[in-house]
């Protein structure tokens, strides 16, 4: 009999497992995948760490989170500065003075603000993503960097998509020549990729991979006093209110016989002329010097089968459905629900650390 069964060896489950073991609790971790690390898992190909479930860059301004993660790994100070390609033109993302200079030949922030202001459309209360984006970014940025990309990702016209709660944080607009996506004090990729983080978090902990909780539910549940569940909340309750929708992604990895394919880690393809949303060249995350390279095309899941659930569809229908599942979860004795799939929320890694450590404090105090 274990103290805790932890369903999911992703970031949330692994932090909880480590902390529980540290406090003398016995823990069994199971994951349906053949590896630990959840969506942070890196696959080594030709000495290059492939971010198998999409590019992941750690960033935080929280000293406690930074100190905590540095007990397990050190970082390479990689600064994420992606580009966007639209009709043959490369633009810096997020939108900054370099982007605005390329769009409008403006040179200083004052000119840029004036030009943007002349393009903005003012809505009292934007009713959809198109109105929201036009009111924040104006016509040019909306058409070149937002519209086609959002429609490709979601399969829905922007005028039918709801406004996004944190659009300004997802696609910041900055009047500086700073090309970094994240402005947090600390950022980077763990030296050697993300796998060493999980090897260290889960060191000495009982682990069963290739084990789907739902295929052995009764048996696994009977093996522990309490369960920490980090899988999909709708699946736990047999989809009784219907399934929670996600925009999914699908990745195709390819070895290319050249040293440097695109000159940067991530390029967003914001036009509809290609079906993929991004190309990722993994070696740039770790400044790799291999003679070959590995690139990944990221597709919206609807274009391929077997996409991973990535971005929750936060429309009112899904939100209301989630609230009903949450009520069931809160009433479920002996089970703690946590992580991005249980909370139906896209958390950053930093937020996942904060949430998991808060749960530890609550659950394992003393
Ligand atoms: C495309 C994308 C890019 C991102 N990029 C960044 C970034 O650059 N920086 C950043 O800070 N954050 C990023 N994130 C967020 C980051 O991925 C999450 O914060 C983190 O993965 C959350 O960890 P988790 O443990 O909650 O979930 P997950 O990593 O999804 O782990 C859940 C685990 O549970 C397992 N599981 C599920 N169901 C079962 C079952 N029935 N039985 C057994 N096991 C099960 C899964 O196999 C998985 O291993 C990104 C997210 C996405 C989708």
Q: What integer pLDDT is reported at residue 303 of this predicted model?
A: 43
- Looking only at Cα atoms, what is the longest distance across the chain? 67
Q: What integer pLDDT is reported at residue 306 of this predicted model?
A: 63
Say how far apart CA 269 and CA 266 lie, in whole Å.
Answer: 10
Asked if residues 87 and 218 have their Cβ atoms less than 8 Å apart, the reply is no
Backbone angles phi, psi at 342, to 5 degrees: -80, -35
Q: Domain spans of the chain? A: 2-77+186-244+314-363, 83-170
Q: Which of 166, 297, 340, 356 to mutate to test the pocket of ligand 1 (most atoms within 8 A of CB)?
A: 340
The pLDDT tens digits for 300-317 are: 986 455 678 899 988 899
Span from the CA of 168 to the centroid of ligand 1 (angstroms): 23
How many CB atoms are closer than 10 A to CB 114?
11
Asked if residues 37 and 9 have their Cβ atoms less than 8 Å apart, the reply is yes
The pLDDT tens digits for 29-80 are: 999 999 999 999 999 999 999 999 999 999 999 999 999 999 999 999 999 9
Asked if residues 257 and 163 have their Cβ atoms less than 8 Å apart, the reply is no
Residue among 312, 316, 296 at smallest CA distance from 154: 312
Residue with CA closest to ligand 1 atom 44: 31
Query: From residue 145, how far is each of 49, 89, 176, 279 by CA, in Å?
Result: 29, 11, 18, 15
Span from the CA of 295 to the centroid of ligand 1 (angstroms): 21
Q: Which of 6, 8, 54, 213 to mutate to test the pocket of ligand 1 (most atoms within 8 A of CB)?
A: 8
Q: What integer pLDDT is reported at residue 340 of this predicted model?
A: 98
Where do runs of H (alpha helix) occur along the chain?
11-22, 63-69, 97-104, 109-119, 129-141, 148-154, 167-170, 195-201, 217-221, 233-236, 316-331, 340-343, 349-363
DSSP 58-95: EEE--HHHHHHHTTT--B-------EEEETTEEEESSB
All residues at 6 or more sequence positions from 139 whose CB lies less than 8 Å from its CB, including other chains: 119, 121
- Asked whether the bond before 283 is cis by omega within 30 degrees of 0, the reply is no
Residue with CA closest to ligand 1 atom 37: 231
Say how far apart CA 260 and CA 263 lie, in whole Å.
Answer: 6
The pLDDT tens digits for 327-357 are: 999 999 999 999 999 999 999 999 999 999 9
Query: From residue 338, how far is each of 13, 58, 197, 354 by CA, in Å?
Result: 8, 20, 19, 12
Residue with CA closest to ligand 1 atom 7: 56
Q: Give 269's DSSP letter.
A: E
The pLDDT tens digits for 231-272 are: 999 999 999 999 999 999 999 999 999 999 999 999 999 999
The pLDDT tens digits for 125-165 are: 999 999 999 999 999 999 999 999 999 999 999 999 999 88
Atom of ligand 1 nearest to the CA of 339: 26
Residue among 346, 350, 258 at smallest CA distance from 54: 346
Say how far apart CA 19 and CA 359 lie, in whole Å.
Answer: 10
Q: What integer pLDDT is reported at residue 169 of this predicted model?
A: 85
Write out residues with Cβ below 6 Å of ligand 1: 7-13, 30-33, 38-40, 54-58, 212-214, 230-231, 249, 310, 339-341, 347-350, 352
Q: What integer pLDDT is reported at residue 308 of this predicted model?
A: 82
Q: What integer pLDDT is reported at residue 298 of this predicted model?
A: 96
Say how far apart CA 1 and CA 166 lie, in whole Å.
Answer: 44
Asked if residues 149 and 268 have their Cβ atoms less than 8 Å apart, the reply is yes
Q: What integer pLDDT is reported at residue 366 of this predicted model?
A: 59
For domain 2-77+186-244+314-363, the CATH superfamily is: NAD(P)-binding Rossmann-like Domain (3.40.50.720)
Asked if residues 49 and 253 have their Cβ atoms less than 8 Å apart, the reply is no
The pLDDT tens digits for 160-218 are: 999 988 888 889 999 999 999 999 999 999 999 999 999 999 999 999 999 999 999 99
Q: How much is the CA Rg of the chain, to the nearest whole Å? A: 22
């Amino acid at each position: 009999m274990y103290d805790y069964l932890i369903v999911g060896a992703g970031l949330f489950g692994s932090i909880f497992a480590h902390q529980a073991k540290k406090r003398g609790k016995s823990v069994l971790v199971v994951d349906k995948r053949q590896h630990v690390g959840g969506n942070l898992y890196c696959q080594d190909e030709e000495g290059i760490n492939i971010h198998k479930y999409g590019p992941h860059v750690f960033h935080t301004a929280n000293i406690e989170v930074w100190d905590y993660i540095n007990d397990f790994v050190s970082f390479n100070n990689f600064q994420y500065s992606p580009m966007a390609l639209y009709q043959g033109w490369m633009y810096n993302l997020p939108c900054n003075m370099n982007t605005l200079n390329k769009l409008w030949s403006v040179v200083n922030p004052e000119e840029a603000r004036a030009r943007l202001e002349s393009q903005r459309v003012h809505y009292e209360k934007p009713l959809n993503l198109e109105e929201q984006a036009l009111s924040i970014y104006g016509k040019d940025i909306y058409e070149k960097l937002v519209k086609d990309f959002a429609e490709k990702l979601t399969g829905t016209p922007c005028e039918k998509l709801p406004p996004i709660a944190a659009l300004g944080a997802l696609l910041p607009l900055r009047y500086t020549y700073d090309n970094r996506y994240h402005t947090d004090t600390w950022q980077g990729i763990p030296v050697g990729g993300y796998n060493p983080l999980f090897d260290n978090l889960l060191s000495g902990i009982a682990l069963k991979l290739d084990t789907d909780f739902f295929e052995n539910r009764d048996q696994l549940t009977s093996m522990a006093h309490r369960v920490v569940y980090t899988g999909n909340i709708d699946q736990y309750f047999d989809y009784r209110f219907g399934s929670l929708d996600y925009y999914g992604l699908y990745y195709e990895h390819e070895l290319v016989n050249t040293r440097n394919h695109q000159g940067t880690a991530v390029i967003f393809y914001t036009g509809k002329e290609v079906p993929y949303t991004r190309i990722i060249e993994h070696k740039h995350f770790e400044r790799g010097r291999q003679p070959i390279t590995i690139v990944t095309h990221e597709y919206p899941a609807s274009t391929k089968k077997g996409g991973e659930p990535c971005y929750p569809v936060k429309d009112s229908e899904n939100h209301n459905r989630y609230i009903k599942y949450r009520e069931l979860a809160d009433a479920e004795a002996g089970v703690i629900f946590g992580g991005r799939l249980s909370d139906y929320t896209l958390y950053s890694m930093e937020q996942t650390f904060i949430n998991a450590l808060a749960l530890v404090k609550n659950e394992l105090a003393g």
